[in-house]
Amino acid sequence: MANDEPVEQVLKVPGARLHYEIHGAGPLLVVVGLPMGCKGFSPLTKELTKYFTVVTFDPRGVLGSPLEDPGQAADPAEMADDVHRLLATLDAGPAYVFASSGGGITALELMAQHPDQVRALVTHEPPLLELLDDREEMRAAIDEICLLYRDNRPAALQKYLALADIRLHRPAPDPSETDEFTGPEDVWTILDRLFHHTLRPITRYRPDFDALRPLADRIVVAGGSTAEGSLFHRAAVALAERLGTKTVDFPGDHTGFLSDSEAFAHLLSEVLTNTRPA
C-alpha cells in the first residue's frame, strides 16, 4: 500500500480551499505542517505509510490551498479549525497527529478546542517564542527579518536560518520522482507567505494551558536530538515544562524528519502508539 499513488482531494473551508492527500493504510495519522505542505513531507510520508494511513495537506495560503484573500494574516485558531473540518470530513474517529514547526501551534490549538478528535499528538519544535525569557528580543529579531525580506529575500532567509539555527536538509530526489519534491519556485512562494503573513502571528501565539494541561498525557513534545540550545528546541523545552512533561528526542534537528526519515518515522510510530489514547 505504501507505494500506491495518493488520493488527492479538495475541502472547502471558510475563506479557502484545502488540498489534501491520503496515503497508505492503517490507523489514521494526520501530518500538520507550517509553512510546509504535502510535498515537503514526502520522504517522511513514504516511511509513515508502513504504519499508518497518512493524510497530508497544504495549509491555507500555501500552494494548493489558495485563500480568497491572499493578504490575510495567518491565524492559529482559523488553521486549527481547518484541521478540525478535515478530520470531520475524514470521519475516521480520533486521529494520531504529528505536527512540525508552525504546524505544532496549529495542532496545539486543535487539541485545546477539539480534544475528542486527537488520539495522541506529537508536536515537534513548535516556535512558541512567547514562552522564552528572551521573547522581547526574539519579537524584535522576527520583525527585523520580516522587514528585510521585503527588500532582500535571500539575506532575510539566511538571517532567519541563523537565528533559528536551522540547517536545510534536502534529500536528492530520484529523477523519476521529481514531482514529489517542492521545487525552487514553490519554495519561494511558501517563504513569501511565511515572511509576509505567517511568521509574526505564529511566533506570538500563546497556548491555552488551562485547556492543554489536563490533556498532557496525550501530548508528546519532541525536540531534535542534535538541536539542543537552538531557538525552537528551547521553545519545545519551555512548552514541556509548562505541561509538566519532558521533551522526547527525535533524530536530527528541526528538520530531522527529512534528514533521518526512516528512523524518525519508526520512533514516531512507537511514541504515538504507546501514548494513552483518548
Q: One-letter amino acid identity for 270?
A: E
**pLDDT tens-digit readout, 112-167:** 999 999 999 999 999 999 999 999 999 999 999 999 999 999 999 999 999 999 87
Residue 96 phi, psi dihedral angles, 5° rounding: -70, 145
The C-alpha atoms of residue 95 and residue 98 are separated, in whole angstroms, by 10
CATH architecture of 7-273: 3-Layer(aba) Sandwich (3.40)
**pLDDT tens-digit readout, 204-263:** 999 999 999 999 999 999 999 999 999 999 999 999 999 999 999 999 999 999 999 999
Buried b (16+ CB within 10 A) or exposed e, 87-111: beebeeebbbbbbbbbbbbbbbbbb
Helix (H, G, I), strand (E, B), or coil: what is residue 53? strand
Buried b (16+ CB within 10 A) or exposed e, 53-66: bbbbbbbbbbbbbe
Residues in the chain, overall count: 278
Q: One-letter amino acid identity for 273?
A: T
